[in-house]
Amino acid sequence: MRRTMVAGNWKMYGTRASVAELLSGLGQLALPDSVDVAVIPPSLFINQAIAELHGTSIAVGAQNCAVEANQGALTGEIASSQLVDAGCTLVLVGHSERRQVIGETDEVLCRKFAAAQASGLVPVLCIGETLEQREAGKTLEVVGAQLSSVIAAVGIEAFTSAVVAYEPVWAIGTGLTASPQQAQEVHAAIRSQLAKESAEVARGVRLLYGGSVKAANAVELFGMPDIDGGLIGGASLNADEFGAICRAAGN
Ligand code: PEP
């Protein structure tokens, strides 16, 4: 049985004061035991989050890691082993903002995925199509190609300790959400693509949906058979809203 997961990606938001307020709100939430909850702050605030959330069930992750697992001469980057040393347990890999704005390629993100796992972090692989690709009927082809490049690089067994997040680019930060049926169609395709390599891995891997999830639409999305929780952006910056989404995932 797959455990539901809800992870809050804070993106490049927060000041010391706003983060302190958010962490204090998160620390007071009553969260369902059946859901794995994580927050993913900007790296500047990882230590603060780990210190403040100590003693709660909320895990802390990072939004990015270096292509190298070990510390070394790579100015501006953070090694996955350093994230583990700080207390992180997961890391986003291939978020569409990094693919599109930073220009992260499949090759680079495959190296990050491998580096994360080499250090013991769970990579959360983000995949998704643009609006143009969806309108051209290419959604499953695009998402399938993004996934197969990682399977080819790291092997199917690597997905026993990884999470995949389907995040349609047109739904991220736009207020537009994929309908539960649209999301389920892609999640089912992702799972069947994984099943072609290993039925066991496909059954166990958690597939999160991301893209303008709010408390108001979470129950329906999380009710779909292949949606195992959510990757939450904007709504994770409000502790009460995030708590309501986590409770929806626990239903
Ligand atoms: C995200 O950044 O991963 C995301 C899903 O953002 P939002 O929920 O704001 O669309």
- The per-residue pLDDT of the chain, averaged, comes to 97
The pLDDT of residue 1 is: 82
The pLDDT of residue 102 is: 96
* Structure tokens, 73: 């001469």
Domains of the chain: residue spans and CATH? 4-250 (3.20.20.70)
Any idea which residues carry the catalytic annotation?
A: 95, 167
CA–centroid distance, residue 72 to ligand 1 (Å): 32
pLDDT by residue (tens digit) across 61-93?
999 999 999 999 999 999 999 999 999 999 999
Q: Is the pTM of this model over 0.95?
A: yes
Secondary structure in 3-state letters for 87-135: CCCEEEECCHHHHHHHCCCHHHHHHHHHHHHHHCCEEEEEECCCHHHHH
> How many Å is the Cα radius of gyration of the chain?
17
Residues listed for the chain: 251
Q: Which ligand 1 atom is the nearest neighbour of the CA of 126?
A: 3
Are 168 and 146 in contact by the 8 Å Cβ rule? The answer is no
CA–centroid distance, residue 171 to ligand 1 (Å): 8
Ramachandran class of 175: left when φ > 0, alpha when ψ lies in -120 to 50, beta otherwise: left
- Give nearest CA residue, ligand 1 atom 8: 233
pLDDT by residue (tens digit) across 178-207?
999 999 999 999 999 999 999 999 999 999
The pLDDT of residue 251 is: 84
Tell me the mean pLDDT in the region 5-24: 98
pLDDT by residue (tens digit) across 94-129?
999 999 999 999 999 999 999 999 999 999 999 999
pLDDT by residue (tens digit) across 215-243?
999 999 999 999 999 999 999 999 999 99
